[in-house]
Structure 1
Amino acid sequence: MTLRLALLAAGCASRYGGNKLLAVHPASQQPLLHHVISEYIKAGFTDIVVLTGYWHNAICETLPTGVTHHYVDDWQEGMAASVRTAAALDLTGYDGLMIGLGDQAGISAELISSLTTDYASNPVITATNCQGIIGPPVIFPPQSLTVLNQLQGDSGAGKYLRKLALVSPDSIQTKRINSLTDIDYPADWQKLD
């Protein structure tokens, strides 16, 4: 089972007021984006592409060795632009694409591994379900990515995933989790366990 990982990191972080992706994660003392990348690497990911936008230069200058980047031309539109860019990545030789968030400070290698194990045994869309919100990280089978090209605006695939869970429950599976902190505001660091 070989998956490609796209980490969304294109936004300007206006609510944070600066480059949150390079802010220091309190647990690892690494920049947030590096902390997130290291959790995916611990879970076995070797092909990681970071989708950049507003903070492109600052992020690219600090990416760990072996991690590639791709600039999202229309990043200003919002998260949908990044998701469409992720869906267009070449998946030749891969069994699926995992889409994660570069600011998901609460991500763990254990959760990532659990999702990939679920996907390996049942290769349908596999996502987290945090208190009723279905979202990233999400693994998509290659044949399911075309629908992501229709996304618009400042939202990801969450609405589509919720609808899919209702109308076609066999085509999606979710892992229930209690919390998965992402960093939108400086105060969000206090939510980490």
Structure 2
Amino acid sequence: MPQESAVAGLLLAAGGGRRLGGRPKALLTYRGRLFVEHAAEELRAAGCAPVHVVLGAAADEVRARARLAGCALVGNPDWESGMASSLRAGLVSLPRGLGGALVALVDQPGIGAAAMARVAGAYRSPKTLAAAAYGGRRGHPVLLGAAHFPGVVRAARGDEGARGYLRGREIALVECGDVAAPDDIDEPGDLIDLPS
């Protein structure tokens, strides 16, 4: 049984990369590693445990190629319906007794362990809500205290993830602009300056 103060890592890595010509983002490379390997390792380095990785597009290929020892791999057959389905699948997969979950996106390789640890460090109780901020603007990763899991699972829709649930709630912002770059990799042009 996990400790009530434990923060799990939840990596959403199911997207099919539609705007990238159908290249699943989990299988893109960054500094010699697959995106999914890089992000999972950064969550571990940030002190998150356990780490659950939600897979969808090309899940069999990701399972075959990615080095994800020590991670729980969660299949999301409904991944094409949007990020919310992956968030729901991931939250439901987590063991009971956790304090919360740090939710990270596979397509933001510029966000590493330093920012993840900083946001995870904002945990105070299962009612905690916190998020990284970049120049004061909210971004990822997002820390969801376990008390919010049922509400997020009920409210998550389409590509909005937890946005609808979080709207109007008090969220502690943790400035991370000095240690991370929150750029999404969404289109082929976004890969040009990325170290492969």
Shift of 1:144: 0.9
Counterpart check, 1:22 vs 2:33: no
CA distance in 1, matches of 2:164, 2:139: 9
CA contact (8 A) 1:181 1:192 kept: no
Shift of 1:15: 0.8
Aligned pair in 2 of structure 1 residues 67, 59: CA closer, same or farther (>3 Å)?
A: same
Aligned pair in 2 of structure 1 residues 131, 106: CA closer, same or farther (>3 Å)?
A: same
Partner of 1:174: 173
Aligned pairs, number: 185
Equivalent in 88, 95, 98 of residue 92 of structure 2: 88
TM-score normalised per structure 2? 0.83
Structure 2 gap ranges (5+): none
Alignment of 1:121-136 (within 5 A): 124-131=128-135, 133-136=137-140
Shift of 1:48: 1.1
CA contact (8 A) 1:135 1:157 kept: no
Partner of 2:54: 51
CA contact (8 A) 1:98 1:139 kept: yes
Q: Show CA shifts across 1:129-155 (max 9, x none).
A: 235643321111111112212221122
Q: For residue 123 of structure 2, give the secondary structure of its aligned residue in structure 1.
A: helix
Which AA in structure 2 matches 1:156? G
CA distance in 1, matches of 2:50, 2:130: 19
CA contact (8 A) 1:91 1:97 kept: no
Shift of 1:19: 2.5
Aligned pair in 2 of structure 1 residues 75, 186: CA closer, same or farther (>3 Å)?
A: same
Shift of 1:20: 2.7
CA distance in 1, matches of 2:60, 2:81: 19
CA contact (8 A) 1:3 1:95 kept: yes
Counterpart check, 1:141 vs 2:145: yes
* Structure number with higher helix proportion: 1
Partner of 2:115: 111
Identity %: 28
CA distance in 2, matches of 1:121, 1:152: 26
Shift of 1:91: 3.4
Which AA in structure 2 matches 1:183? I
TM-score normalised per structure 1? 0.84
Shift of 1:90: 3.3
CA distance in 2, matches of 1:121, 1:150: 21
Aligned pair in 2 of structure 1 residues 141, 121: CA closer, same or farther (>3 Å)?
A: closer
Q: For residue 52 of structure 2, give the secondary structure of its aligned residue in structure 1.
A: strand
- The CA RMSD measured in Å over matched residues stands at 2.3
